Homo-oligomer: A and B are copies of this chain.
Amino acid sequence: MSDDAWEPPAILLAVDLVILTLREARLHVLLVERGIEPYKGAQALPGGFLQHSQESLVAAAHRELAEEADLDVETLCLEQLGVYDDPGRDPRGRVVSVAFLAIAPRLPEPTAGTDAADAGWQPTDRVLSGELNLAFDHRRIVTDGVERARAKLEHSALATAFVGPTFTITDLQDVYEAVWGMPLDPRNFYRKIKKTDGFIVPAGSARKAATGRPARLFRAGPREALYPPMIRPADPPNGKEQAQ
């Protein structure tokens, strides 16, 4: 490309957000109903274009989140998920979108913002299964986001981000079961968690549900990366792949 007279291509840069949380022991994703064309009326991830050329991507992400879902998530830690740039993914022209992922403890019901007709939590199952159709390539983005969360639970203390400041080991197990989508043995889970140094630290004695032995409370520990990782059981219980 030895062209001196080079015209910058007209490309629009956007951000999309996959916000995951736990509600009633199921993994949910934040969706908005699009208030404008294209895909007006369809469910979509919150997101939008960069406002000006100096706005950073994460700044745009936080701004869109506030605008579209009225969520106060200053503290929310956004992680880059990927870039989606298939030409033709947006009928308006060439739109390259950077997706971000965030994990949140139980959040308040979001209220509709200016650009979105409505905002609310939907179970990720319904999106992944295709039961619920999303605008653009947002189903793929959600799929990637959930898979990222699953993987991160194995190697990081991410699970504590789903729950409140103090929690019980059973709370943590609920997170793993909801995100991984499989049941785990409470006894073995308990043992594994407790012996992973720095994952959790005690937070006073405890009390919880109406019935059963009260559970001890813990707080997130200093450890960010889990060294002996929490290996999730092989996914395909229906698969029959056997090599060698």
Contacts and interface: CB of A to CB of B under 8 A. Distances in A.
Interface of A: 1-2, 6, 8-13, 48-57, 67, 80, 82-83, 85-87, 93-94, 96, 98, 114-115, 197-198, 201, 221-223, 227-229, 231, 234, 241-244
B56 A85 contact: yes
Q: Secondary structure of the A side of the interface?
A: loop
Which 4 A-B residue pairings sit nearest by Cβ, starting from the closest?
Answer: A198-B243, A9-B53, A53-B94, A197-B243
B2 A12 contact: no
Contact of A9 (B13, B115, B229): B13
A184 to B, nearest CB: 17
A114 B1 CA distance: 8
B243 A2 contact: no
A175 B49 CA distance: 42
A83 B67 contact: no
7 contacts: A1-B67, A10-B53, A11-B50, A53-B93, A197-B244, A198-B244, A223-B243
A168 to B, nearest CB: 17
Contacts of A197: 241-244
B50 A201 contact: no
Contact of A8 (B1, B12, B242): B12
Contacts of A53: 9-11, 93-94
